Amino acid sequence: MQAWPRPEISTLPPVPGRPRVHDTASGGLVEVGPTQDTASARMYVCGITPYDATHLGHANTYVTFDLLGRAFLDCGLAVNYTQNVTDVDDPLLERAAATGVAWEDLAADQVELFRTDMVALNVLPPDHYVGAVESIPLVVALIGRLRAAGLVYAVDDADYPDLYFECSRAPGFLTESHLDVDAARAIFGERGGDPQRPGKRDPLDCLVWRLSRDGEPSWETELGAGRPGWHIECTAIALEHLGEHFDVQGGGSDLIFPHHEMCAAEGTAATGRPFASAYVHAGMVGYEGEKMSKSKGNLVLVSRLRSAGEDPMAIRLALLAHHYRDDWEWTDADLDAARVRLERWRGAANRAAGASASGVVEAIRGALRHDLDAPTALAAVDAWAASKGDDPHAPTEVARALDALLGVRL
Length in residues, the chain = 410
Residue 39, pLDDT score: 80
- pLDDT above 90: percentage of residues in the chain: 95
Calculate the CA dihedral of residues 111, 117, 121, 123 and round it to 10 degrees. Answer: 10
What is the edge-to-edge ordering of all strands in the sheet holding 328-329? 290-291, 285-287, 328-329
What pLDDT was estimated at residue 294?
Answer: 66
Which structural domain, as residue segments, surrounds residue 321? Answer: 300-406
* Sign of the CA dihedral with 9 first, then 13, 14, and 15 last: negative
Q: Of 359, 376, 314, nearest to 339 (Cα)? A: 314
Q: Report the chain (410 residues): mean pLDDT per 10 consecutive residues.
A: 96 95 98 83 97 92 98 96 96 94 96 98 98 98 97 97 95 95 95 95 98 97 97 98 97 97 97 97 92 76 97 98 97 97 98 98 98 98 97 98 98
Beta-carbon count within 10 A of 100 CB: 6
Is residue 94 domain-resident? no
Max Cα-Cα span within the chain:
79
CATH label of the domain that carries residue 402:
1.20.120.640
Do the domain assignments include residue 226? Answer: no
| Residue 388 domain flag | yes
Tell whether 324 is covered by a domain. yes
Q: Is residue 209 part of a domain?
A: no
Residue type, 41: A
Amino acid at 102: A
Distance between CA atoms of 271 and 273, rounded to whole angstroms? 5
pTM of the model: 0.96
| Domain annotation covers residue 167 | no
Q: How many structural domains is the chain composed of?
A: 1
What are the strands of the beta sheet with 276-282, ordered from one edge? Answer: 128-131, 79-85, 41-45, 246-252, 276-282
* Parallel, antiparallel or unpaired: strands 79-85 and 41-45: parallel
pLDDT of residue 29: 98
